[in-house]
Amino acid sequence: MKKLTQKLVNALALLAIIGLTACSSDNDSVKQNEQPSPSTRLQIVHASPDAPLVNILADDSVVAENVDYLQATPYNSITVGSHTLAVKALLADETQIDAFAPVSVDLAAETIYTVLAVNNVAAIEPLVLTRPDTGVTTGKVRLQLVHAAANAPMVDIYLTTPGADLTQQSPLVTAEFKQSLDATEIDPGEYQVRITPAGDAQTIVYDSGSKMLNAGGDYLVAAVTNVGPGSHPVNLIAVNPQGQTLPWLHSETPAAVRVVHASPDAPAVDVVANDNFDAPLIENLAYTEFAGYVMLPAADYNIKVTPTGAQAPVVIDADLSLMAGESYNVIAANVLASIEPLVLTADNRRIATEAKLRLVHASPAAGNVDIYIVAPGADITDLTPALSDVALTADSGFVSLLPGDYDVILTVAGSKDIALGPVSVTLNGAGIYTAIARDAAGGGLPAGLILLDDFL
């Protein structure tokens, strides 16, 4: 997996962007009468919900690398004048392509430019916002709002005291996709942001809950497509000058939980939350079966697993802290005598240019394995495994692959002796695929797979 990081390029590249004059040798000096070139400031925000990681270039010099959805760069100084900005999408094989055609911009002095990559990959485009490069007035907060969610129609955005009746309020801004509000200063304090369809104050599609805005804060606040749990179409992010993105999730954003029965000799089970045996969260889950994602309020839970219809014995007793906006897979793994809960978080954002494949080792009888992901029919004799010496309950995380056909093969660790496969799979762009290696019913070999997500 690519490590999702963001960094400024090395000093030489940055100097090239800013336009400072480099010394030709250690003994050269800057002319005393030479004035530095006037500069302005530039920030980039990745707001395309199905786009991959991107690299950002100005005049062919890299400004930031591996920027993910809802990440941003800090303000970068750049000389006043004409520049070419490019956003390079990173494909699963690490090649780069233009996310959209390079953009020529004429940058003026004393101005902050924010360039958002918006819309879905099929129609991705740059959205350029400007505002004066001035400090925030003492004792004030500065906000600039933008509608950056292509999936949402024209909306009213309200900024009120918490609990205010929207039917008695006027929206701070009414905006279609790509429209924005100029930078506006307000008093610090507690606020509530709510979004409704334009002209319909009673249909709330987003509610921030109470948010404290402190004096001196300076934020770009963008409505963006919700790619996590919950039926609400949008969330907000607040981006500060340092490039930190603060997620403002809908106040009722749930956690999503999916349970998989992968213990080969365990009976069918019930899954009970907080000792509510009268209403199990999941009932009568048999080996190799799984329950679809259940939406739960973010909170701390005690989860017990018992034979169906019984309160004892409790074969799993685990405490879970579920976070809003996260998706969890809870896998009952290993043989009954050693059964344990394997809890995995899942990034279920779909990326148009790649397939995401996750492999979980839950076959006690197989022992440690090597995993190969190869072209159909490939001979693995001289190939290196994609994952080596994978132990029971280990998880590959999501591996990004180009769309296409593959064979998945598991071998005994350190050998070419096949423990499972080859299993032929077709992986589509924007697809999410999870495969769990498991024992035969009752335990032992031959191993098989529990297939989830887009395998079904």
CA–CA separation, 60 vs 373, rounded Å? 35
Pairing mode, if any, of strands 404-412 and 448-453?
A: unpaired
Which pLDDT does position 449 carry in this prediction? 96
Q: How does DSSP classify residue 8?
A: B
In this structure, is the dihedral angle defined by the CA atoms of residues 320, 321, 325 and 326, taken in order, positive or negative? negative
CA–CA separation, 138 vs 13, rounded Å? 35
Encode pLDDT of 345-397 as tens digits. Answer: 999 999 999 999 999 999 999 999 999 999 999 999 999 999 999 999 999 99
Kindly tell me the number of DSSP H helices and DSSP E strands found in the chain.
1, 34
Cis before 132 (ω within 30): no
In this structure, is the dihedral angle defined by the CA atoms of residues 367, 373, 379 and 381, taken in order, positive or negative? negative
Which pLDDT does position 30 carry in this prediction? 36
Which pLDDT does position 100 carry in this prediction? 87
251: tokens are 């106040």
pLDDT tier at 19, thresholds 50, 70, 90: very low
CA–CA separation, 72 vs 118, rounded Å? 13
Which pLDDT does position 105 carry in this prediction? 87
- Helix (H) or strand (E) holding 243, with range, is none
Beta strands across the sheet bearing 355-362: 395-401, 355-362, 432-438, 448-453
Which region, left, alpha or beta, applies to residue 65 given φ > 0 means left and ψ of -120 to 50 means alpha?
beta
pLDDT tier at 4, thresholds 50, 70, 90: very low
Which pLDDT does position 6 carry in this prediction? 32
Which pLDDT does position 38 carry in this prediction? 78
Which pLDDT does position 2 carry in this prediction? 35
Which pLDDT does position 306 carry in this prediction? 97
Encode pLDDT of 163-204 as tens digits. Answer: 999 999 999 999 999 999 999 999 999 999 999 999 999 999
Encode pLDDT of 93-143 as tens digits. Answer: 989 999 988 988 899 999 999 999 999 999 999 999 999 999 999 999 999
CA neighbor of 408 nearest in space, from 366, 437, 441, 439: 437
In 119-243, DSSP assigns E strands to 125-132, 141-147, 155-160, 173-175, 184-186, 189-197, 206-213, 218-225, 234-239
Rounded average pLDDT over 393-405: 96
Task: Name the average pLDDT for the chain.
Answer: 91
Q: Please, are residues 81 and 105 in contact by the beta-carbon 8 Å criterion?
A: no
Identify any residues that bridge with 212 across adjacent strands, giving them in sequence order: 190
Is 157 a residue whose pLDDT tops 80?
A: yes
Which pLDDT does position 37 carry in this prediction? 59
Is 14 a residue whose pLDDT tops 60?
A: no
Encode pLDDT of 430-446 as tens digits. Answer: 999 999 999 999 999 99
Least confident of 3-12, 304-313, 345-354: 3-12
Domains and CATH numbers, the chain: 1-22+40-134 (2.60.40), 135-251 (2.60.40.1120), 254-346 (2.60.40.1120), 349-456 (2.60.40.1120)
Q: Please, are residues 452 and 327 in contact by the beta-carbon 8 Å criterion?
A: no
CA–CA separation, 161 vs 192, rounded Å? 6
Q: Length of the chain in residues, anyone?
A: 456
Which pLDDT does position 135 carry in this prediction? 93
Contacts of 381 (CB under 8 A, 6+ apart): 416
Encode pLDDT of 31-52 as tens digits. Answer: 444 445 578 999 999 999 999 9
